Structure 1
Amino acid sequence: MSYEAIALLMFTTMLVMLLTGQRVFAAIGFVAAAAALLLYGTGSYEMPFNAAFKLFNWFPLLTLPLFVYMGYIMSESGIADDLYRMFHVWFGRIRGGLAIGTILLMVVISAMNGLSVAGMAIGTTIALPELLKRNYDKRMVTGVIQAGSSLGILVPPSIVLVLYGMIARQPVSQLWLAGAVPGLLMAFIFIVYIAIRCRIQPSLGPVLDRSELDIPMREKLATLRAGITPFLIFFFMTGLFVMGVTSLVESSAVGATAATIAALVRRRLTFKILHETAKKTLGISCMFLWIILAALAFGAIFDGIGAGNAIEAFFVDRMEMTPLEILILMQISYLVLGMFLDDTAMLVIVAPLYVPLVIALGFDPIWYGVLYTITCQIAYMTPPFGYNLFLMRSMAPSEVTLMDIYRSIIPFVLLMVFTLGLLIAFPEIALWLPNKVAG
């Protein structure tokens, strides 16, 4: 059997295993182990062993549990509630102002957590009831929350970019910097859309009642204090890192410590909150570790049989496609996979194939990491698998139907595709900041 046939057999077997409902790491690890035994014999048991030590010797891995912990301690201690109150007071006079404030809230939560799940949980439990109570259109607000929460995997400290950096062997610091400007650009595009849409259709985002807006200026100014804590945490975490004062691991430790101190100062650090935070942090971190371990073992087999070179030869030599055409085809394949798989599964399956191909075609792997992450955002919101669709359905009130959720994401998915096209056409949007810092 040729190496191309072996690579195709591994790939299809893994897809079939995933479609059976098996855990991602179990399906990928099983295919990697079976292929290793069949190709290399009993001596191949050292491959997962070496992959595990390679993983545990990667020092930036320490950032993963620290960033997850920081995000959960901030959300569990109620700091997000105070933030939304601030946006409620200051944006209530604008049509669609609370929806705009929700996007800004999601940006702040993203800068504290790096996961989409936390933003979705906060948005559905804090923002959604308030928006519905004030007669905001239910399709508008469910789309806003789903789109805003997806920013968590693009704005630093993005956990997805950390995973991409591990598997693609790229510096996480450069990936974070590359994701910052596109993440803020996408948030800005969302805000412009909401403002224009509510201007054209005022019923979608009505202005708040005068009784809610007529509050003393002293009280309005007092709400601004809610934004001080997240800003200081973000500054000490990311600002010191960008300025070169702290390393990547040190910045994650600073963020986790600052979040704990903030909860303690606000007298919200209880044993129950610590217990819940520790349990959720352990669960998320262990899941990612198993997935990365399986990905490294799978990637080692693929590298060993030369699958990357075979794919490059097929597209470039046989199909005679240009590098840009191949890149667009790769992104389309991600969009299709995203309808059935989550972001980590897509990364583990396709990264061993695509990252070497991206480098061989002359593209920047840092830039491609941002393209991959935006495609994951789109995958989060596309049926039938989209994580955000499931989370919204499980946490939204009964008046929000599944069809409402499906229809709500259409304009935001189109805006994400538009942003993806901008980044393909103008790579400097993503590369300007990392080049500026590195230079």
Structure 2
Amino acid sequence: MEYELIALLMFSSMMLLLLTGKRVFGAIGFVAVAAALLLWGDGGSEIAFSAAMKLMKWYPLLTLPLFVFMGYMLSESGLAEDLYKMFHVWMGPLNGGLAIGTIGLMVAISAMNGLSVAGMAIGASIALPELLRRGYDKIMVTGVIQAGSSLGILIPPSVVLVLYGMIARQPVGQLWLAGVLPGLLMAGLFILYIAVRCRLQPELGPALSEAERGQISRREKLLLLKAGIAPLFIFFCMTGLFLMGITSLVESSAVGAAAATLMALVKGRLNRSVMEETLRKTLGISCMFMWIILAALCFGAVFDGLGAVKAIEAFFLESLGLGPWQVLILMQLSFIIMGMFLDDTAMLVIVAPLYIPLVGALGFDLVWYGVLYTITCQIAYMTPPFGYNLFLMRAMAPPEVSLRDIYVSVTPFVLIMLLALVLVMVFPQIALWLPQWHYGG
């Protein structure tokens, strides 16, 4: 059998297993190990063993549990709730101000945890009930929380970019910096949309009444600004020290986790219950990542052995006669389609062995492509029928928010994300300027 057909059979078998609802790491790992044993006999088992050893030697992998721990510590200890109160008071007098403040909250949370699920949990439990109670349109605010939480995988310290950096062998520091301006650009576009729409339709996002504003003195408003000290402290301890070269990537994640724990202790929020819940959730998420990465390495090793990457490159460029940009656009479309059924980590480990070498062969910057991949994951998170964020929101939203409301709510924000994706594709320096400036590239 031709190697190209074997590669196609492997890929289709894996997709079929994933569609049956099997666990991602089980489907990927099973296909990889079965193919290795069938192709190379007993010696094929060495491929899986070597992949496992490679995973154990990946020192940067220690960042994952530490970043996850930091995000859950912020959520469980209530530090995020203090931050929302600050945005609530300062932005409330504007039409749509609380929704704009929610985007600000999501940006701050994203800069402290690197996961979208933490932002979604905080937004759905803290912001959504308050926005609905104050008469905000349920469809608009549901979309605001889903879109805002997706920023967690783009703004540093993005865990997705850490995973991409490990698989693509790209510097995580450059990837983090590359995600800053696109992330702020997207947040700015969200805020602009909310402000314009609520100005045209004030009933969608009513401002705080004068009576409520009068109940809060200027001194109280200024005191609430203290809620912003904790995020700034944590962000500086983690990302700031890393970018200044004082700490390594792993050390910065450890500093961030320690800083989040210290702030919870200073605020009097650290107790046995908070610590147990944080550790339990951290262990679950970290183990999931470890198994998926292990399966991905094994799958990629078998694909490399088959020469599948060269075959795909020849198929796109020679058989179909496509240009580099046409191939890149097809890749992004395939990500969006897969995102309707899979989460970001599964997408990365499935296509990384195929796409990343091809992107490099086409002459594109792999740091820039990491940002494109991450933005496309954000879009896929919110794309029906099975977008990851859609079902997270359905699980956390109150009964009056239906699944139809959730599906309708994401439409304008998906269009904004597509606009941001196009802008970063057309103007690569949006992503590349900051890492080039900092590292002198």
Q: Is the TM-score greater than 0.5?
A: yes
Aligned to 1:378: 379
In 1, Cα distance between equivalents of 2:349 and 2:20: 17
In 2, Cα distance between equivalents of 1:293 and 1:170: 18
Would the aligned equivalents of 1:67 and 1:252 in 2 still touch at CA under 8 Å? yes
Give yes or no for the alignment of 1:208 onto 2:203: no
Provide structure 1 residue ranges, at least 5 long, that are not aligned to the other structure. none
When the two chains are superposed, the root-mean-square deviation of aligned CA atoms in Å is: 0.8
In 1, Cα distance between equivalents of 2:56 and 2:432: 29
Residue pairs, 1:292-303, within 5 angstroms: 292-303=293-304
Q: Could you say what secondary structure the match of 1:385 adopts? A: coil
Cα deviation, residue 6, structure 1: 0.7
Aligned to 2:313: 312
Q: Could you say what secondary structure the match of 1:321 adopts? A: coil
Would the aligned equivalents of 1:153 and 1:161 in 2 still touch at CA under 8 Å? yes
Cα deviation, residue 388, structure 1: 0.9
Aligned to 2:265: 264
Give yes or no for the alignment of 1:343 onto 2:344: yes
In 1, Cα distance between equivalents of 2:288 and 2:395: 22
Aligned to 1:410: 411
Q: Could you say what secondary structure the match of 1:7 adopts? A: helix
Letter in 2 for 1:300: A
Cα deviation, residue 211, structure 1: 2.4
In 2, Cα distance between equivalents of 1:119 and 1:57: 31
Residue pairs, 1:37-436, within 5 angstroms: 37-214=37-214, 215-436=216-437
Cα deviation, residue 438, structure 1: 1.1
Q: Deviations over 1:144-179 (max 9, x none)?
A: 000000001101111111111122222211111111
In 2, Cα distance between equivalents of 1:297 and 1:168: 15
Q: Which moved more, 1:281-290 or 1:163-172?
A: 163-172
Q: Could you say what secondary structure the match of 1:224 adopts? A: helix
TM-score normalized with structure 2 length: 0.99
Letter in 2 for 1:254: V
In 2, Cα distance between equivalents of 1:331 and 1:322: 15
In 2, Cα distance between equivalents of 1:69 and 1:338: 26
In 1, Cα distance between equivalents of 2:132 and 2:353: 44
Q: Could you say what secondary structure the match of 1:95 adopts? A: coil
Q: Which moved more, 1:78-87 or 1:167-176?
A: 167-176
Q: Could you say what secondary structure the match of 1:341 adopts? A: coil
In 2, Cα distance between equivalents of 1:170 and 1:44: 28
Cα deviation, residue 84, structure 1: 0.6
Aligned to 2:4: 4
Cα deviation, residue 348, structure 1: 1.1
Would the aligned equivalents of 2:342 and 2:388 in 1 still touch at CA under 8 Å? no
Aligned to 1:19: 19
Would the aligned equivalents of 1:342 and 1:385 in 2 still touch at CA under 8 Å? no
In 2, Cα distance between equivalents of 1:108 and 1:387: 22
Cα deviation, residue 29, structure 1: 0.1
Would the aligned equivalents of 1:165 and 1:172 in 2 still touch at CA under 8 Å? yes
Matched pairs, number: 439
Q: Which moved more, 1:71-80 or 1:339-348?
A: 339-348
In 2, Cα distance between equivalents of 1:55 and 1:438: 28
Would the aligned equivalents of 1:69 and 1:256 in 2 still touch at CA under 8 Å? yes
In 2, Cα distance between equivalents of 1:67 and 1:393: 26
Letter in 1 for 2:242: F
Q: Deviations over 1:250-305 (max 9, x none)?
A: 11111011111101111111011110001100100000000000000000011111
In 2, Cα distance between equivalents of 1:391 and 1:356: 33
Q: Could you say what secondary structure the match of 2:104 adopts? A: helix
TM-score normalized with structure 1 length: 0.99
